[in-house]
Chains A and B, each alone.
Chain A
């Protein structure tokens, strides 16, 4: 017997192949914006939450997810916006935190600032701006290697 529809687990695996449009080393699942995959009858419902309410990547993420699911042959699905509970940087997976750092973005830290320079690991750091190149990041600089770097804001 053959199932007519891919399992929910399979769809999660497909979604793990969709990169975040602004930080392509992590997936939309890694970053915690895909909140749920469920079935309503024969229809697949994918719930997505924005990181920041004005994040321009949100519409691109929806587009990329739709493209991925269609390319896998899934026809009957719907993307739903889910606002609550509000996105938190705590939802970024452990594996993704390491990938962020390797990519040069200091991962979020409850201390309110990066714990070390993602390039040289020095802890002698200074904040340049509470905001950065995207809504989810702030600008910091390492006083040891003098390189500025992005820090993923902890919210």
Chain B
């Protein structure tokens, strides 16, 4: 795989975990119960840890001396390569948990496939991250089921969250030139095969959660290619990056 395409591919993996990790960390000190607060903060921590591995490797591949910190803190919106789902605002707790579940389900499938990557470093990071992602999926799917099959209020909120986030699933599985290059070189998986497994597992959980999947397959796109992010990402970056923007190179 060409180095520049591999760099782009790694940015996608690292930016997904970075942006979702930051979003989830916004709950710190605000979650509905202390135990949920701790759980969300720990999920965020795992995701940021994985970001250091992915963006660290991206920087090595790029070869111009940009570190994981540099890539995270000093790129602007149009250089981010995360899918649109992860930059969506937290909304209520149900929306946060639904977003997490929709991501975790994809994350486990993609990391599992990446363990067989022809790139050894990619395979090693995937093996490490997969253990954490499986634990996240266990919690988020249990919580989706608990809230979906809970009270009338919690059910309605989970259904609203699913309806809102549904159009963001499709971007995971729509391959572009970078995805296809990764697939051809054995670096990344065939996305269409992942989609079949994803839809099947998703249906099973939604059924247990008494939730109804929308039938429309329209999908928002433009996040992983960087073509068009939603307005939310810029706002997120102003918070996440402000220190390095105000005091470039600050460290402690």
A55 close to chain B: CB less than 8 A: yes
Residues on B close to A: CB < 8 A?
Answer: 35-36, 38-39, 41-43, 45-50, 52-53, 123-125, 127-132, 135, 138-139
Interface residues of A in 84-143 (CB under 8 A from B): 84-88, 128-133, 135, 139
CB distance from B6 to the nearest CB of A (A): 18
Residues of A within 8 A of B42 (CB): 131-132, 135
With A54-B50, A155-B131 known to touch, is A129 a contact of B45 (CB < 8 Å)? Answer: no
Q: Is the CB of A129 within 8 A of B128?
A: no
Partner of B127, one of A54, A56, A84, A135: A84
A side interface size, CB within 8 A: 22
With A128-B35, A129-B39, A131-B42 known to touch, is A53 a contact of B127 (CB < 8 Å)? Answer: no
26 interchain pairs (CB within 8 A)? Answer: A50-B49, A52-B132, A53-B50, A53-B129, A53-B132, A54-B45, A54-B46, A54-B49, A54-B52, A83-B53, A83-B124, A84-B123, A88-B131, A128-B35, A129-B35, A130-B135, A131-B35, A131-B38, A131-B39, A131-B41, A131-B42, A133-B38, A139-B35, A139-B38, A155-B131, A155-B135
Residues on A close to B: CB < 8 A?
Answer: 50, 52-56, 83-88, 128-133, 135, 139, 153, 155
A94 CA to B76 CA, complexed, in Å:
49
Q: Is the CB of A83 within 8 A of B127?
A: yes
Q: Is the CB of A84 within 8 A of B128?
A: yes
Q: Is the CB of B127 within 8 A of A85?
A: yes
CB distance from A79 to the nearest CB of B (A): 16
Residues of A within 8 A of B36 (CB): 129
A105 CA to B152 CA, complexed, in Å:
39
Partner of A54, one of B39, B48, B123, B131: B48
Pairs A-B, 10 closest by C-beta atoms: A54-B49, A53-B49, A129-B35, A131-B42, A84-B124, A54-B45, A131-B39, A83-B124, A86-B128, A86-B127
Closest chain A residue to B42, Cβ basis: A131
